[in-house]
């Protein structure tokens, strides 16, 4: 059986849907905090069990009988994030899971300027220490983050953000399909995968040009100092750690941490991944 955590979230849900196109429903299980939100999956024959990264016993039960478990990384920061991942990994070991897969990030490194990438690196260390077969999916930076940064510009026409560098923005749909392919053993990787990205890394200057072409409207690119950008987040009620995290994305981009691109994602899904222009058009058409 293949178990997917976070199966009601953006990436987890899409992965389950793509997985069900490849394997019978009775081979798929999900671990979710609220099983009611996955009732439609249960109705289709998927095994639904309650699992909480803060409750080790619930995870051991949710992972029971799993040949593979996909751990979708938590939306947490720092020690709280790594602690949750450690709990899940230990539960997978206790449950006798055959292989652990983890949604890491292309920039995972202990010296990254982006806290989330440091958390991913520490989680990969935990996986390595289990002695079990494991795979870290080195996903491209989620394009949804770029679209979130662009939301004010959608109305103003000015992309006012800190200085950045090229980033391999990648869509959730393509990453979910690739993850499902790996879980269905259409491709297998030991340890970290090559970068699972689209074909190009873009800075926001290039994104402004893409937005102009996609909408027929002019877009400008204005560089905002890091401190001013951080203050904007604080003024909108964001906690200081979140504001710091947002600024650190740009610091890491300037440091060249998200520039890697490769063919592996295209090979896994059998086509070129969606380009940023396509993703932007889809999001802004909603």
pLDDT tens sequence across 98-120 = 999 999 999 999 999 999 999 99
Q: How confident is the model at residue 60 (pLDDT cuts 50, 70, 90)?
A: very high
Whether residue 286 is predicted with pLDDT greater than 80 in this model: the reply is no
CA–CA distance, 66 with 133 (Å, rounded to integer): 13
Rounded mean pLDDT of 219-239? 95
Whether residue 134 is predicted with pLDDT greater than 70 in this model: the reply is yes
Whether residue 187 is predicted with pLDDT greater than 90 in this model: the reply is no
Q: How many CB atoms lie within 10 A of CB 238?
A: 15
Q: Residue 67 is encoded by which pair of tokens?
A: 């040949």
pLDDT of the residue at 186: 79
Pairing of strands 47-50, 28-32: parallel
Whether residue 275 is predicted with pLDDT greater than 70 in this model: the reply is yes
Nearest CA to 29 out of 49, 54, 52 is that of 49
Q: Residue 201 is encoded by which pair of tokens?
A: 């890394």
CA–CA distance, 6 with 52 (Å, rounded to integer): 9
Helix 115-130 / helix 240-254 crossing angle, nearest 10 deg: 90
| Domain 2-138+172-192: homologous superfamily in CATH | NAD(P)-binding Rossmann-like Domain (3.40.50.720)
- Percentage of the chain surpassing pLDDT 70? 100
Q: What φ, ψ does residue 31 adopt, rounded to 5°?
A: -115, 115
Q: Cα-atom radius of gyration of the chain, to the nearest Å?
A: 19
pTM for the predicted model, two decimal places: 0.95
pLDDT of the residue at 175: 98
Exposed/middle/buried for 121, CB within 10 Å: 0-12, 13-18, 19+? Answer: buried
- Percentage of the chain surpassing pLDDT 90? 96
């Amino acid at each position: 059986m293949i178990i997917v955590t976070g199966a009601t979230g953006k990436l987890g849900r899409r992965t389950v849907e793509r997985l069900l196109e490849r394997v019978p429903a009775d081979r798929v299980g999900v671990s979710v905090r609220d099983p009611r939100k996955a009732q439609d999956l249960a109705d289709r024959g998927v095994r639904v069990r309650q699992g909480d990264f803060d409750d080790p016993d619930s995870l051991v039960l949710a992972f029971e009988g799993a040949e593979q478990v996909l751990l979708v990384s938590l939306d947490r920061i720092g020690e709280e994030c790594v602690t949750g991942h450690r709990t899940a990994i230990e539960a997978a070991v206790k449950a006798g899971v055959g292989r652990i897969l983890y949604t890491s990030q292309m920039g995972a490194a202990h010296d990254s300027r982006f806290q989330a990438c440091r958390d991913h690196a520490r989680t990969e260390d935990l996986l390595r220490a289990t002695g079990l077969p494991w795979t870290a999916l080195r996903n491209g930076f989620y394009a949804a983050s770029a679209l979130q940064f662009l939301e004010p510009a959608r109305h103003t026409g000015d992309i006012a953000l800190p200085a950045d560098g090229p980033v391999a923005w990648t869509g959730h749909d393509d990453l979910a399909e690739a993850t499902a392919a790996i879980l269905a053993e259409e491709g297998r990787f030991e340890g970290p995968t090559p970068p699972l990205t689209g074909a190009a890394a873009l800075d926001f200057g290039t994104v402004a040009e893409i937005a102009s072409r996609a909408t027929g409207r002019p877009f400008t690119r204005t560089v905002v100092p890091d401190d001013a950008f951080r203050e904007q987040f604080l003024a909108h009620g964001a906690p200081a750690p979140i504001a710091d995290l947002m600024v650190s994305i740009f610091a890491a981009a300037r440091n060249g941490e998200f520039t890697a691109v490769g063919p592996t994602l295209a090979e896994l899904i059998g086509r070129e991944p969606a380009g940023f222009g396509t993703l932007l058009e889809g999001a802004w058409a909603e």
